[in-house]
Amino acid sequence: MSSTYNDIKQRLSSVRETRQMTNAMYLLSAARLKKAMRSMDYTLDYNESLRRTMTDILAKTEDNHLHNIYLERSPKGHPLIMCVMGDKGLCGGYNNDVAQLTLHVLQKVNDDADVFCFGRLAYDFLRSKGIRPKEVFPGSSMHPEFSMAEEISNRLVEKYLTDEYNEVFIIYTPFSRKGKLKPVCFRLLPLFGEDFTDLGETPPVDLIYEPDPKSVFPHIVPLYCAALLYNLLVQSSASENSARMEAMQSACDNADTMIDSLATEMNAVRQLTITNEITEIAAAAEARKKGN
């Protein structure tokens, strides 16, 4: 009985230690989630201002049919797919969902696309499928920085203008405070008019452009792409931490259930051991009386 009791005790101690680790990861993910949400809030107003300005320019140049390389898909070049996953696991199906969508998108473009990986797991997954990513940015999904997003965006715009890329897509997981997290494939370039229909009316203030709207538009698009890329990376970071929080909370709940079960089992074994010892002592005492 002592052997069984010690085994249960050792297992119970192991489960409690695991529970402490999962709870620590939950708290760390919660802190990172709050930081990512603050970053998202900071960029919302800036992004909306840029989008409204672009919508206003498109509206004012509608009669003149604004022809711009950012608004038209070039027949030259090939697509670029950017995949945003994490550098670590333990976040449920978050990384797997992004990986499966990435494979689906690559199959649709017949593998005629370059791939950028944000996060080490994206790189490892694609390499395991025989796909060699063009570039990888480890740590970018967990700790996104605007300077990095701006640098990457400027490079993408340059390659887009030189017809190396004719489309730029990013596969990421939008953050949602309610509902299941689900990855999407978002087109970053080129820009289409329907991308701005959700804004409704143009800005209430009559904006003045110098020298004219057509000249201003090409200078706004790179700023828009940089801000948007940063926002999508921040959303992915928030989604990853939210998924990890949910996974760690589930692990903590399972550990609590297991701890209760093992504690009950250990107490039962202890009581049985004590009862057997008392019975043996009583039987020995009874035998001694009879011997006398």
Taking a C-beta distance cutoff of 8 angstroms, is the pair 255, 23 a contact?
no
CATH superfamily of 2-26+247-286: ATP synthase, gamma subunit, helix hairpin domain (1.10.287.80)
Interacting residues of 3 by C-beta distance below 8 A, sequence separation 6+: none
CATH 3.40.1380.10 domain span(s) along the chain: 31-243
As a dihedral over the C-alpha atoms of residue 179, residue 184, residue 187, residue 193, rounded to 10 degrees, the angle is -40
Q: Per-residue pLDDT tens for 221-248?
A: 888 899 889 999 999 999 999 999 989 9
Q: What is the pTM of this model?
A: 0.82
Residue 57 corresponds to which tokens in the numbers above? 């320019």
* Tokens 């051991």, residue located: 273
Give whole-number Cα distances, 252 to 17, 26, 123, 216, in Å: 11, 9, 30, 54
Closest CA to 69 of 149, 159, 150: 159
Q: Per-residue pLDDT tens for 246-288?
A: 899 999 999 999 999 988 888 888 888 788 778 877 777 777 7
CATH 1.10.287.80 domain span(s) along the chain: 2-26+247-286
Architecture of domain 31-243: 3-Layer(aba) Sandwich (3.40)
Rounded CA-CA distance 224/159 in Å is 16
